[in-house]
Chain A
Amino acid sequence: GNRAAQPGTTQRAEGDDSLYPIAVLIDELRNEDVQLRLNSIKKLSTIALALGVERTRTELLPFLTDTIYDEDEVLLALAEQLGSFTVLVGGPEFVHCLLPPLESLATVEETVVRDKAVESLQKISQEHSPVDLEVHFVPLVKRLASGDWFTSRTSACGLFSVCYPRVSSTVKAEIRQHFRTLCSDDTPMVRRAASSKLGEFAKVLELDYVKSDIIPLFTALASDEQDSVRLLAVEAGVSIATLLPQEDLEDLVMPTLRQAAEDKSWRVRYMVADKFSELQKAVGPEITKNDLVPAFQNLLKDCEAEVRTAAANKVKVFCESLPEDSRETIIMTHILPCVKELVSDTNQHVKSALASVIMGLSTILGKDNTVEHLLPLFLVQLKDEYPEVRLNIISNLDCVNEVIGIRQLSQSLLPAIVELAEDAKWRVRLAIIEYMPLLAGQLGVEFFDEKLNSLCMAWLIDHVYAIREAATCNLMKLVEKFGAEWAQNTIVPKVLGMANDSNYLHRMTTLFCINALSEVCGQEITTKHMLPVVLKMSTDQVANVRFNVARCLQKIGPVLDSSALQADVKPVLEKLATDQDMDVKYFALEAISGMYPFISLTFQHISSQKHFNSPLYCFFFSFSPCCLGYRRLHCVIVKFFKHYLWMSCIYFIYSCIYLFIWSTCTFLKGSSDAHFPQVDMIL
């Protein structure tokens, strides 16, 4: 009605076909189908563009402000859209119009939606002028901060830091006051939010206020009654430590952090262990030496396995970042004794965490210490009862190789590898196969031939397909490392030997190996050694082998020269194309069509085959589109006779005849040529 009178929109709207899609989009904002609403919300910018800036501000945004009943995914999309809506409401001058809908989104119960709304609010806060910020944005933050529901108060916590730097000092004081209030909120949810934003807020505060305001808040949150609040304070502590000058750290932050490292709750200690390297960076070398080293020792000896695991993960990073002058002494006298104990820990996760980093210590300690102190530990871990521990050691062998050479380990390495290679769990076997190329590179070709080659071959006949598959892939990587000549002498004969195995699965493995190896082995080996075996297998009695021959031929086709293709491959594929088994035929024809550029004559040859030219075939072929279009034809007929009811009997007879022809056709087609559609495709 009266909206037509509004300027700017009338002209565009009248007689405009482009109105329709927008109208649909707007209507779908309230469709019952969530997906349609979601689509519509995602195109909100299109709607806003069509409405113009003024109607967007006066009509669309008020509607969106009250849409908070919707599904989370719709609200999430809305919160995201509004973050980049500034231009659509008329630029920075009007950006404050976006605050009401985002404010209501910042109070919903779903965390992801709230977080996204806060993110968008942070984004548009930068587009506010300093005046607008104080007139519109800060009051919003204050409203949220003193809201009735914890949801709005948690959202407020994330907004202080974006407006603080750009407001006057009186407003700054108010903001600090609000933040203080939230840090001592009644609900743990708000205290958690404040605790997690404390570091972020500290960064924008003046140093004096960090000392006078933030430190007491940090101390209070770090001794909160709720574990979940205390553990978040640890991270804040790390951020605060980076802001303070070195001389203040000892008095202001360290007592609290020391207390956190010895907290009664393992979750808080876990957090300290998890953030240890950041903490180390933040406090600098002196405090690290005096405080963090003993704290780290305690964490490594913690009674809770989760804490020890987190600490064990940090051993290498911690040692690396120790001050250089005293690094070796500290490691040798303080850290290594704890590490030694962890090697025989009762918990497998602790041991496997340690195993994944312990090898890194060798580069820090140098050759002599590694041989004397670390090597025995590696050897113990290589014999560990849990495969994961052994695997972690083996996967990091390269670090040791650089320092002392892998030979020192090889005597113990071998039994460990063999044991893993024969582990009852196939996932363990799979994991060790993946490290094989790495090991082969480190150990060298002689050692490999002597000790490991037989393992790699044994995996080819594993009873789990995933292992056989990984084993073929492994062979390819080995050949990439050791070269084609090595392949020809060691693995190709063995692989080809399996072609005569009585188990068809092993015969197929030969084909899979050839698939993988042909390219890396090159044309000569492929043509000379592999191709004859593949061709021979085309007469295998198991159809699965035969169609894999077809697939294999297609795969190795590009490696072969054209004479081999013409003389050897083509006849075999043609023969397979007439196989009894429909799958063999299918893959043979696929191989032929796939290799079209290589064998140009095949198509001609096939189409000259006898039954393709028979009149019967031609009849069926010409009829087949009708068969496919039967339903459509049916409809046409119904339409045609719609007005002639008296002719319905004729229609009936007609359809009977049609059905008869169609079914005969299908029947004959099925019996004469099972792969009719494929031939069709090639033609």
Chain B
Amino acid sequence: EAGVGGFYQNKKTFFSFFFILVCDPADVISTVEFNQTGEFLATGDKGGRVVIFQREPQGEYNVYSTFQSHEPEFDYLKSLEIEERINKIRWLPLHNPAHFLLATNDKTIKLWKVSERDKRAEGYNLRDEEGRLKDLSTVTTLQVPVLRPMDLLVEASPRRVFANAHAYHINSISVNSDCETYLSADDLRINLWNLNITDRSFNIVDLKPENMEDLSEVITVAEFHPHHCHLLAFSSSTGTTRLCDMRASALCDQHAKLFEEAADPSHRSFFSEIVSSVSDVKFSHSGRYLLTRDYLTVKVWDLNMENKPVETYQVHDYLRTKLCSLYESDCIFDKFECAWNGTDSVIMTGAYNNYFRMFDRASLRDVTLEASREVCKRRAVLQPRRVCVGKKQKETDVSVDSLDFRKKILHTAWHPKENIIAIAASNNLYIFQDRLTPNGHHNTPEIQSAPPKWQTQPNPPTY
């Protein structure tokens, strides 16, 4: 299903993504995550399944392994149904030839091992290879089984189950750079686990007030710093992001830094607080910046400046006038994720109508792209989209009123090194690749003055 595409903006190329895969798992995708090398991509879905894709030497991603990570459960003590939906997947750094990932639903985190096997034992003493019993009188010598090569078999096995530590729904997990611990966060608490110990965890942040009526905020996301093992950031529904230093104290209720932008009084409305709720937090690969996504914007914060973000990008400002209807349809509570590219120069996040947005930090230019079956046909061009508020300027423009709010791109992921992106739109996974960065050296998005040529050949090898 490979195809080629490109788009232009102001007559200049920003990215030219061509489409390399669309996959249609049975259920709505609930999380997407590349591993540390980008060779593997994992998706989790509402049905509790994890699908892992492996990148072929030709550059295409193919299904590597599929397994059922979580099953629906019932909490008899609280009379609560526990959904099997995978909320988050995080890869562990490489241990050995096998791959490890953490997957969580609302309550239980599981550590999975995905490994390959290419040998099989042969030779029984008492039965033949089909399993029939041999005549015992023919058994005169002992035979030790020998290993023979066989077709590659990928198996996923659960290694550990981290359960019973969360009273509320787990919204994030994050592996520490010490590769020994990870955190899991629910609405009110953050717990710290050792990857080898399943029967206890340490509560490091607790926002639960004595009286639940005093509850003013909930934790929305938590993440560890990519290099400093003692730093963790967590954001809340009030639009703040806190940075905690785990060196200072065993309990991190006291934050080291609080990133919050003073609210603009002119924009103040009933919805101000709801739209300011942070739905995703990502540290940049360099560890210097924090990216936060709220309902209408993405913001880049410098860890050294708490009072305002260094950059703010409007994702869909035209929705500001439609908040009331979005509130009625509950869309205003959608949790969009955001992502950095490998060099921290471009930001990506999702929007409605199967659109996703990209912002180039250096040139301050942005683009809207669409991930849908219609545009991802073979050799189709990924055209930039434009949403217009008033009258249509071009034929391809889409008016705000005709946006489909049921089609939303919540989960996106960017390859850690190359310009390859994975977009989950409902139960479709789209993978796009930038045409200009085929060999991994050419990572920065290039701005070309001439429109790119059609690419007629299959994409070149990337390794």
Chain A residues with CB under 8 Å of chain B are 3-4, 9-10, 13-15, 19-20, 22-24, 26-27, 29-30, 50-51, 55, 59-60, 62-63, 66, 69, 107-111, 149-152, 187-189, 192, 225-228, 263-267, 303-306
Interface of A is mostly: helix
Give the docked Cα–Cα distance between A20 and B140 (Å). Answer: 9
How far, in Å, is B44 (CB) from chain A's closest CB? 22
Q: Mark B124-139, 1 if CB is under 8 A from A, else 0.
A: 1111000000001001
Q: Which of B96, B100, B139 contacts A149, CB < 8 Å? A: B96
B117 interface contact, C-beta 8 A: yes
A50 touches B95 (CB 8 A): no
How far, in Å, is A321 (CB) from chain B's closest CB? 28
A50 touches B142 (CB 8 A): yes
Give the docked Cα–Cα distance between A180 and B24 (Å). Answer: 51
A27 touches B247 (CB 8 A): no
**B96 neighbours in A (Cβ, 8 Å):** 107-109, 149, 151-152
A63 touches B121 (CB 8 A): yes
B228 interface contact, C-beta 8 A: yes
Interface of B is mostly: loop
How far, in Å, is A678 (CB) from chain B's closest CB? 38
A109 touches B113 (CB 8 A): yes
**A110 neighbours in B (Cβ, 8 Å):** 159
Q: Which of B175-183, B339-347, B355-363, B428-436 contacts A (4 or more CB under 8 A)?
A: B175-183
Q: Which of B75-83, B143-151, B406-414 contacts A (4 or more CB under 8 A)?
A: B143-151
B204 interface contact, C-beta 8 A: no
**A226 neighbours in B (Cβ, 8 Å):** 177-178, 229
16 more A-B residue pairs beyond the given contacts A9-B142, A151-B96, A303-B249, with a C-beta to C-beta distance below 8 A: A19-B139, A20-B136, A23-B142, A26-B143, A26-B144, A27-B126, A29-B145, A60-B144, A66-B147, A111-B196, A151-B95, A188-B179, A227-B230, A228-B180, A304-B248, A304-B250
**A22 neighbours in B (Cβ, 8 Å):** 142
**B249 neighbours in A (Cβ, 8 Å):** 266, 303-304
Q: Which of B121, B140, B146, B159 contacts A4, CB < 8 Å? A: B140
How far, in Å, is A49 (CB) from chain B's closest CB? 11
Chain B residues with CB under 8 Å of chain A are 93-98, 100, 113, 115, 117, 119, 121, 124-127, 136, 139-147, 159, 177-180, 196, 227-230, 246-250
**A19 neighbours in B (Cβ, 8 Å):** 139-140, 142
**B119 neighbours in A (Cβ, 8 Å):** 66
A266 touches B146 (CB 8 A): no
Residue with the highest number of chain A CB atoms closer than 10 Å, among B125, B139, B246: B125
Q: Which of A3, A10, A23, A228 contacts B229, CB < 8 Å? A: A228
A149 touches B94 (CB 8 A): yes
Q: Which of B93, B117, B125, B144 contacts A69, CB < 8 Å? A: B117
Give the docked Cα–Cα distance between A337 and B230 (Å). Answer: 33
B127 touches A10 (CB 8 A): no
Give the docked Cα–Cα distance between A562 and B216 (Å). Answer: 77
How far, in Å, is B448 (CB) from chain A's closest CB? 37
**A9 neighbours in B (Cβ, 8 Å):** 141-142
A188 touches B142 (CB 8 A): no
**A111 neighbours in B (Cβ, 8 Å):** 196
B178 touches A59 (CB 8 A): no
Q: 10 A-B contacts, Cβ less than 8 Å apart?
A: A3-B141, A9-B141, A19-B142, A30-B121, A55-B142, A187-B179, A226-B178, A227-B246, A228-B229, A266-B250
How far, in Å, is A6 (CB) from chain B's closest CB? 8
**A227 neighbours in B (Cβ, 8 Å):** 178, 229-230, 246-247
**A3 neighbours in B (Cβ, 8 Å):** 141-143
A63 touches B230 (CB 8 A): no
**A107 neighbours in B (Cβ, 8 Å):** 96
How far, in Å, is A544 (CB) from chain B's closest CB? 31
**B127 neighbours in A (Cβ, 8 Å):** 27
**A24 neighbours in B (Cβ, 8 Å):** 125-126
CB nearest to B121 among chain A residues: A30
**A15 neighbours in B (Cβ, 8 Å):** 140
**A304 neighbours in B (Cβ, 8 Å):** 248-250
With A30-B121, A228-B229 as given contacts, are A51 and B178 in contact (CB-CB < 8 Å)?
Answer: no
With A187-B93, A188-B179, A303-B249 as given contacts, are A26 and B145 in contact (CB-CB < 8 Å)?
Answer: yes
With A27-B126, A108-B96, A226-B178 as given contacts, are A267 and B144 in contact (CB-CB < 8 Å)?
Answer: no
A188 touches B144 (CB 8 A): no
**B141 neighbours in A (Cβ, 8 Å):** 3-4, 9-10, 13
Give the docked Cα–Cα distance between A263 and B246 (Å). Answer: 13
With A3-B141, A225-B228, A227-B247 as given contacts, are A63 and B146 in contact (CB-CB < 8 Å)?
Answer: yes
**B142 neighbours in A (Cβ, 8 Å):** 3, 9, 13, 19, 22-23, 26, 50-51, 55
With A111-B196, A150-B95, A227-B229 as given contacts, are A305 and B147 in contact (CB-CB < 8 Å)?
Answer: no
**A30 neighbours in B (Cβ, 8 Å):** 121, 145
Give the docked Cα–Cα distance between A340 and B65 (Å). Answer: 62
**A59 neighbours in B (Cβ, 8 Å):** 144, 146
CB nearest to B124 among chain A residues: A27
Give the docked Cα–Cα distance between A107 and B94 (Å). Answer: 13
How far, in Å, is B203 (CB) from chain A's closest CB? 13
CB nearest to B228 among chain A residues: A225
CB nearest to A188 among chain B residues: B178
Q: Which of A14, A109, A192, A306 contacts B95, CB < 8 Å? A: A109
How far, in Å, is A109 (CB) from chain B's closest CB? 4
Give the docked Cα–Cα distance between A51 and B145 (Å). Answer: 13
**A20 neighbours in B (Cβ, 8 Å):** 136, 139
A55 touches B247 (CB 8 A): no
B125 touches A27 (CB 8 A): yes
**B115 neighbours in A (Cβ, 8 Å):** 69
Give the docked Cα–Cα distance between A27 and B179 (Å). Answer: 39
CB nearest to B120 among chain A residues: A30
A305 touches B250 (CB 8 A): yes
Give the docked Cα–Cα distance between A149 and B144 (Å). Answer: 30
**A109 neighbours in B (Cβ, 8 Å):** 95-96, 98, 100, 113
B95 touches A267 (CB 8 A): no
**A66 neighbours in B (Cβ, 8 Å):** 119, 147
Q: Which of B95, B100, B140, B145 contacts A13, CB < 8 Å? A: B140
Give the docked Cα–Cα distance between A561 and B140 (Å). Answer: 70
Give the docked Cα–Cα distance between A485 and B230 (Å). Answer: 66
Give the docked Cα–Cα distance between A304 and B68 (Å). Answer: 43
B247 touches A265 (CB 8 A): yes
**B121 neighbours in A (Cβ, 8 Å):** 29-30, 63
Residue with the highest number of chain B CB atoms closer than 10 Å, among A13, A20, A29, A228: A228
Give the docked Cα–Cα distance between A550 and B297 (Å). Answer: 80
CB nearest to B250 among chain A residues: A306
**B117 neighbours in A (Cβ, 8 Å):** 69
CB nearest to B119 among chain A residues: A66
With A149-B96, A266-B249, A304-B249 as given contacts, are A55 and B144 in contact (CB-CB < 8 Å)?
Answer: yes
Give the docked Cα–Cα distance between A55 and B146 (Å). Answer: 13
**A267 neighbours in B (Cβ, 8 Å):** 247
How far, in Å, is B200 (CB) from chain A's closest CB? 15
**B179 neighbours in A (Cβ, 8 Å):** 187-189
CB nearest to A13 among chain B residues: B141
CB nearest to A110 among chain B residues: B159
**B196 neighbours in A (Cβ, 8 Å):** 111
**B178 neighbours in A (Cβ, 8 Å):** 188, 226-228
How far, in Å, is B110 (CB) from chain A's closest CB? 16
How far, in Å, is A275 (CB) from chain B's closest CB? 18
Give the docked Cα–Cα distance between A41 and B218 (Å). Answer: 51
B126 touches A23 (CB 8 A): yes
**B247 neighbours in A (Cβ, 8 Å):** 227, 263-267
Residue with the highest number of chain B CB atoms closer than 10 Å, among A15, A24, A29, A69: A69
Residue with the highest number of chain A CB atoms closer than 10 Å, among B121, B141, B159: B141
How far, in Å, is A378 (CB) from chain B's closest CB? 29
**A14 neighbours in B (Cβ, 8 Å):** 140
How far, in Å, is A214 (CB) from chain B's closest CB? 24
How far, in Å, is B92 (CB) from chain A's closest CB? 9
**B94 neighbours in A (Cβ, 8 Å):** 149
How far, in Å, is A320 (CB) from chain B's closest CB? 28
